[in-house]
Structure 1
Amino acid sequence: MKRVLLVLALLVLAAAGWVWYVNYGDHDPGPSAAAGPASVERGAYLARVGNCMACHTDRGGAAWAGGRAIDTPFGIVYSSNLTPDARTGLGSWTADDFWRALHHGRSRDGRLLYPAFPYPNYTEVTRADSDAMHAYLRTVPAVERQNTRHALRWPYSTQAALAVWRALYFRPGVYEPDPEQSAEWNRGAYLVRGLGHCAACHTARNVLGASSEMMDLSGGLIPMQNWYAPSLAAASEAGVAHWSPKDIARLLRDGASAQGTVLGPMAEVVLYSTQYLTDADAVAMGVFLKSLPQIPPSEPGPTPPVDPKVAERGARIYSQHCAQCHGLRGEGVPGAYPPLAGNRAVTLPITANLVQVVMGGGYPPATEGNPRPYGMPPYVMLLNDADVAAVLTHLRTSWGNRAGPVSELDVARQRGGPR
């Protein structure tokens, strides 16, 4: 019995030592690259690819000075000041310090960072790219702005809880190219998995906020936003295996292509980030996304029954408010209003996005390739929950669409705000 207890004690000590090493141990950052004008220019581009300024700039605040509130299921995390201010920003951070934050999720003082900063993805960023981003951030105007203290509930506010989370769900590691794939595929994989951090939205999270499988890209509800990021590996959702890489690149850069249009949070990503991708990088991401293993399509079931009164109400509302743009039979207008017949965004099993678009409107981003996009007005003040449910049920069960109806409860949950 004593021998068993001794073995258990040794195992506990070993596990504790491993947890300490993963979270607090010193990791060699490797050599730093020299910072010159070319490195600064490259760093500016990479910061755009990572969409860093979107989070690190508060609404109405100075660029890169932080302070934006990021709502999470565990409380509010406030983004930090990335300007080169010596007292409140990154002015005293070395390239080693910056790389350690991206690669290992640790601040300059050794404090563990919360994964609202997506270092589980950024850990794959190379040292050279990290150095370029650091060089660029040292050139932005310095702003003296003290970082706002996070408002997280206990025990999520403690470093001990964060250390346990990291031991369970985080492993540092730089992207390793796949020798069996082309250089273009590897470049796309590096951008999607690393700086692009696509999995941060397009992968489901568990009750502790961790992705069950970091890179499966099989879709997930974006916490606190009530938007669903559809699966990039399912033809019935947002899979692009049947698209050409150039068409995928066009969607990433323009926000619209012949096959679809982006709305909601993805519209912001295109507006602030992916529209600035080079042609080569956008196509490389398309090559990688096109190659994702596809989830086999499920067999279509019988058309769900719809209450005749709901069906009549939905058809009437559609005729009054929707048909003039989307057509009497949901055919849409090419280049302006998307078709609703056969539109997989309409038939998604999760209806959160449809409710959001009808109530809050839908606005693609204005980009160089699509400078005057057509939008949809909000109907939140015009239609009640029963109206929204009825018209969405009409869309999902008409013109060959064979999806389930939308209930008043589904709409009420969305109208009530983030959960």
Structure 2
Amino acid sequence: MSKPSTEHRRQRIAASRSILCLAFGLFAVAQGAHGQEASTIAEGQYLARAGDCIACHSDPGGKPFGGARAMATPFGTLYSSNISSDRQTGLGDWTANDFYAVMHDGHTRSGAILYPAMPYAAYTKVTRADSDAIFAYLQSVAPVHQPNHDQDLRFPYNNRQLLVGWRTLYFKEGEYQPDPSKSAEWNRGAYLVEGLGHCSMCHTAINALGGSSESAKFQGGLIPMQDWYAPSLTSNREAGLGDWSIKDITDLLQAGVSARGAVYGPMAEVVYNSLQYLSDADVQAMAVYLKSLPPSGDTSAPTVTQTEEKNRLYPLGSKIYAAECAMCHGPHGEGKGWDFPPLAGNQSIQMTSSVNPIRMVLNGGYPPGTGRNPRPYGMPPFAQSLSDEEVAAVVTFIRTAWNNHGTAITAKDISALRTAPLN
């Protein structure tokens, strides 16, 4: 057999090199696509945490994103949907367009209007790119085969057609539009607070129709069925942040505790599930935006009746405080760092609503365990050791001592909250 010519060998080598180059190129493209997909999924996970999706779409003790969490409302019980990657009961056979329709305009794939417990009035502000990233992440989570529950709402609220009227009153579709007169940091904070964070859903009063007034945005309100008060973020008498430092705000959002106080109740869940995972830059952007909210709120003086009630309860409250509270919070309510928040000058103690300080004295609790505060100190409950009159006395004391500007409360206020749900 004759040997191949030199030219023929060169052609074979060149062809082999071409094949190798093509294979390497395809491999590089595949690797690049895989890397891009992984980056999108990671971004989606971050954004899903910013939106606190896991809080509603995971039943306590159940698998993440499997839905079926029962949520009591004034209109009946709603159940969250399965948003895992399961193809039969979750989002496994959805498209990015299907998911964006839910986020942006509050419609299911079948065209049905979602109940506004799903905060699509806020999520409509989320960009298409961010929606697609969240969807990519949810497609990557483990499938949970758990059929979705039928909603259990009373008549006439079980008629979804009534939601057309609700949307007319309370829903404005559209992605967030940056304010060119504000900084990039301010706009990022506004996007997170008003969009994914859906902060106004709790911090704005809910009316009898399950809606909220734009003019009352962020001015605080009682969270229905939970008996916790989400304070006003615009009133310096409540949680208005006008005289807070950016550090105090970021500490509270990210660590759950700060020199100004600590978070409990539903807000503790938000910090635990969501805010502690956000970047320092994003938390600071949220703080910048929140601090810029225009001030508003009640500044009226206590009535004569409240003053008389204070004078009656104050001595007993002072005695109870000295015996039960001063060891941790200080004899003058000065507190001890993050572990024991100050009560003197603490706005959450002085709010018009006394619900939160009453609940803390009755039920106690812990701030959330976070990366920046992994072993939080707790507040012991006093429901078993103090009577309604005694709780009213000590809460009245801390609301009015040390130049605090709160008002007196009564034993009746305490009785109404003894059976309130713990979360």
Shared fold (TM-score, shorter chain, > 0.5): yes
Q: 1:240 to 1:308 in 2, by over 3 A?
A: closer
Asked if 1:322 corresponds to 2:325, the answer is: yes
- What letter is aligned with 1:243? W
Q: 1:260 to 1:310 in 2, by over 3 A?
A: closer
Q: Distance in 2 between matches of 1:100 and 1:353?
A: 37
Higher mean alpha-carbon deviation, 357-366 vs 273-282, is at: 357-366
Deviations 1:271-329 (Å, cap 9, x if unpaired)? 11000011111111111111111127726558822365533322222222212111222
Higher mean alpha-carbon deviation, 172-181 vs 250-259, is at: 250-259
Query: In the alignment, is the contact (CA less than 8 A) between 1:83 and 1:141 conserved in 2?
Result: yes
- The residue that corresponds to 1:249 in the other structure is 250
- The residue that corresponds to 1:170 in the other structure is 171
- The residue that corresponds to 1:133 in the other structure is 134
Within a 5 Å distance, the mapping from 1:247-286 to structure 2 comes to: 247-286=248-287
- What letter is aligned with 1:405? A
- What letter is aligned with 1:109? S
Q: 2:395 aligns with which of 392, 396, 399?
A: 392
- The residue that corresponds to 2:221 in the other structure is 220
Deviations 1:16-67 (Å, cap 9, x if unpaired)? xxxxxxxxxxxxxxxxxx9721111100000000000011000111110001
Higher mean alpha-carbon deviation, 189-198 vs 392-401, is at: 392-401
Higher mean alpha-carbon deviation, 337-346 vs 53-62, is at: 337-346
Shift of 1:186: 0.5
- The residue that corresponds to 1:359 in the other structure is 362
- The residue that corresponds to 1:146 in the other structure is 147
Number of equivalent positions: 385
Q: Distance in 2 between matches of 1:119 and 1:80?
A: 14
Q: Distance in 2 between matches of 1:185 and 1:278?
A: 15
- The residue that corresponds to 2:14 in the other structure is none
Q: Distance in 2 between matches of 1:235 and 1:401?
A: 13
- The residue that corresponds to 2:185 in the other structure is 184
Secondary structure (helix, strand or coil) at the match of 1:108 reads: coil
Secondary structure (helix, strand or coil) at the match of 2:214 reads: coil
Query: In the alignment, is the contact (CA less than 8 A) between 1:199 and 1:215 conserved in 2?
Result: no
TM-score by length of 1: 0.88
- The residue that corresponds to 1:210 in the other structure is 211
Q: 2:349 aligns with which of 346, 350, 370?
A: 346
Deviations 1:333-376 (Å, cap 9, x if unpaired)? 22321121222111111001011111111311111111221110
Deviations 1:96-140 (Å, cap 9, x if unpaired)? 000000111111111111111110110100100000000000000
| Greater helix share, structure number | 2
Q: Distance in 2 between matches of 1:333 and 1:49?
A: 31
Asked if 1:312 corresponds to 2:315, the answer is: yes
Query: In the alignment, is the contact (CA less than 8 A) between 1:204 and 1:221 conserved in 2?
Result: yes
TM-score by length of 2: 0.87
Q: 1:402 to 1:235 in 2, by over 3 A?
A: closer
Query: In the alignment, is the contact (CA less than 8 A) between 2:344 and 2:401 conserved in 1?
Result: yes
Asked if 1:294 corresponds to 2:283, the answer is: no
Q: Distance in 2 between matches of 1:417 and 1:363?
A: 17
- The residue that corresponds to 2:156 in the other structure is 155
Q: 1:166 to 1:299 in 2, by over 3 A?
A: closer
Deviations 1:139-196 (Å, cap 9, x if unpaired)? 0001110011111101101111122212222121110110111111111000000000
Secondary structure (helix, strand or coil) at the match of 2:102 reads: helix
Within a 5 Å distance, the mapping from 1:49-68 to structure 2 comes to: 49-68=50-69
Secondary structure (helix, strand or coil) at the match of 2:222 reads: strand
Query: In the alignment, is the contact (CA less than 8 A) between 2:205 and 2:216 conserved in 1?
Result: no
Shift of 1:403: 2.1
Query: In the alignment, is the contact (CA less than 8 A) between 1:203 and 1:214 conserved in 2?
Result: no
- The residue that corresponds to 1:79 in the other structure is 80
Q: Distance in 1 between matches of 2:335 and 2:259?
A: 12
Asked if 1:108 corresponds to 2:109, the answer is: yes
Higher mean alpha-carbon deviation, 248-257 vs 326-335, is at: 326-335
Higher mean alpha-carbon deviation, 345-354 vs 192-201, is at: 345-354
Q: 2:404 aligns with which of 389, 398, 401?
A: 401
Query: In the alignment, is the contact (CA less than 8 A) between 2:259 and 2:341 conserved in 1?
Result: no
Secondary structure (helix, strand or coil) at the match of 2:140 reads: coil
- The residue that corresponds to 1:380 in the other structure is 383
Query: In the alignment, is the contact (CA less than 8 A) between 1:35 and 1:135 conserved in 2?
Result: no
Secondary structure (helix, strand or coil) at the match of 1:120 reads: helix
The 4+ residue runs of structure 1 with deviation greater than 4 A are 299-303
- Identical positions, percent: 52
Query: In the alignment, is the contact (CA less than 8 A) between 2:203 and 2:230 conserved in 1?
Result: yes
Query: In the alignment, is the contact (CA less than 8 A) between 1:304 and 1:402 conserved in 2?
Result: no
Query: In the alignment, is the contact (CA less than 8 A) between 1:304 and 1:403 conserved in 2?
Result: no
Secondary structure (helix, strand or coil) at the match of 2:294 reads: coil
Q: Distance in 2 between matches of 1:174 and 1:153?
A: 33
Query: In the alignment, is the contact (CA less than 8 A) between 2:234 and 2:297 conserved in 1?
Result: no
Q: Distance in 2 between matches of 1:173 and 1:363?
A: 38
- The residue that corresponds to 2:32 in the other structure is none
Q: 2:372 aligns with which of 369, 374, 383?
A: 369
Query: In the alignment, is the contact (CA less than 8 A) between 2:260 and 2:341 conserved in 1?
Result: no
- The residue that corresponds to 1:93 in the other structure is 94
Secondary structure (helix, strand or coil) at the match of 2:348 reads: coil
Q: Distance in 2 between matches of 1:202 and 1:180?
A: 26
Of structures 1 and 2, the larger Rg is shown by 2
Query: In the alignment, is the contact (CA less than 8 A) between 2:309 and 2:409 conserved in 1?
Result: no
